[in-house]
Amino acid sequence: MKLVYEDKSDEIDEVLSKFRFKWQLNALSWLDYDDIAQTIRLHIFKKWDKWDQERPFKPWVSVLISNQIKNQIRNHYSNFAKPCSRCQYNMGGEACGLNKSGFQSTECTEYAKWNLKKKNAYNIKIPLSIENKTEFRNVKLEDDLDFKQASERLHVKIMEQLNERHQEVYRMIFIEGHEDKDVAKKLGFKPDPSKKNKITYKQINNLKKRFCEMANEVLFKEDIV
């Protein structure tokens, strides 16, 4: 009797939890690993008949999950990223050295094209499945679990471009997992006075945007994952 998705749901969750560290790019405030995991579960369900049940399950599902994560990262940080991240006039955050306003905007032709064609796609969750044609016969679970090393490489590449203070912000948020309020307390950032009903830190939010753009640029140029 063939197994169905529900028979392996616990094992799927187990493998997904092991791959959590591969999704280190949580500067995207609207998207986290739980969202990615849900998308991947649906993809596994749709591809269930592709699993040869005479072969081990975990190697098959591990490759499927890994490819989906890579695909999601590529979509969110490369295909739909603002052109500003690779522009010589990018001054960090939303600042632009080309536009008269001093900010990234449709004053720039390339930004205007992105705003018209790709901005909406960049600002929503994009579940894009891929057809996995990998041969699973000789794949071991450990072969594809290089997520820790990949995330460490990304951290190093980003940290190399930051000054000491910004390195501390990045380390606390994206490596140690501290909340914004902890970073603000340690480094002296003040709450945004324009926000009356919610405590936010404009400087930290701007830095997060900058880190996101830097991650996009690194992923675009180098084989990190």
Q: Is there a single domain that holds both residue 44 and residue 28?
A: yes
**CA-CA distance, 17 to 11, in Å (whole number)?**
10
Nearest Cα residue to 185 out of 198, 170, 201, 197 = 201
Residue 2: both structure tokens together: 């063939």
Q: Domain tally for the chain?
A: 2
From first to last of the 225 residues of the chain, give the pLDDT tens digit.
889 999 999 999 999 988 887 775 554 555 677 888 888 999 999 999 999 999 999 999 999 998 888 887 776 666 666 788 777 787 776 788 888 888 888 889 888 888 787 776 555 433 333 334 344 444 444 444 455 677 777 888 888 899 999 999 998 988 888 888 899 999 998 888 777 667 788 888 888 888 888 887 777 776 665
Q: Is there a single domain that holds both residue 153 and residue 44?
A: no
Domain annotation covers residue 31: yes
Task: Report the pLDDT value the prediction gives residue 53, as an integer from 0 to 100.
Answer: 92
Q: Is there a single domain that holds both residue 71 and residue 170?
A: no
3-state secondary structure the chain: CCCCHHHHHHHHHHHHHHCHHHCCCCCCCCCCHHHHHHHHHHHHHHCHHHCCCCCCHHHHHHHHHHHHHHHHHHHHHHHCCCHHHHCCCECCCCEECCCCCCECCCCCHHHHHHHHHCHHHHCCCCCCCCCCCCCCCCCCHHHHCCHHHHHHHHHHHHHCCCCHHHHHHHHHHHHCCCCHHHHHHHHCCCCCCCCCCCCCCHHHHHHHHHHHHHHHHHHHHCCCC
Domain annotation covers residue 95: no
Domain annotation covers residue 169: yes
Q: Is there a single domain that holds both residue 31 and residue 126?
A: yes
Q: Is there a single domain that holds both residue 128 and residue 155?
A: no
The terminus-to-terminus CA distance of the chain in angstroms comes to 38
Structural domain boundaries, residue 134: 1-80+118-139
Q: Is there a single domain that holds both residue 160 and residue 197?
A: yes
Q: Is there a single domain that holds both residue 132 and residue 222?
A: no
Domain annotation covers residue 91: no
Q: Give residues with Cβ within 8 angstroms of 98, minimum separation 6.
A: 87, 89, 107, 108
In degrees and rounded to multiples of 5, residue 14 shows phi and psi of -65, -45
Domain annotation covers residue 108: no
Q: Is there a single domain that holds both residue 36 and residue 133?
A: yes
Residue with tokens 């501290």: 178
Nearest Cα residue to 225 out of 19, 59, 13, 31 = 19
Q: Is there a single domain that holds both residue 193 and residue 161?
A: yes
Task: Report the pLDDT value the prediction gives residue 147, as an integer from 0 to 100.
Answer: 57
Q: Is there a single domain that holds both residue 222 and residue 196?
A: yes
Domain annotation covers residue 8: yes
Q: Is there a single domain that holds both residue 19 and residue 125?
A: yes
Q: Give residues with Cβ within 8 angstroms of 66, minimum separation 6.
A: 19, 22, 144, 147
Domain annotation covers residue 93: no
pTM here is 0.40
Domain annotation covers residue 152: yes
Residues linked to residue 96 through DSSP beta bridges, in sequence order: 90
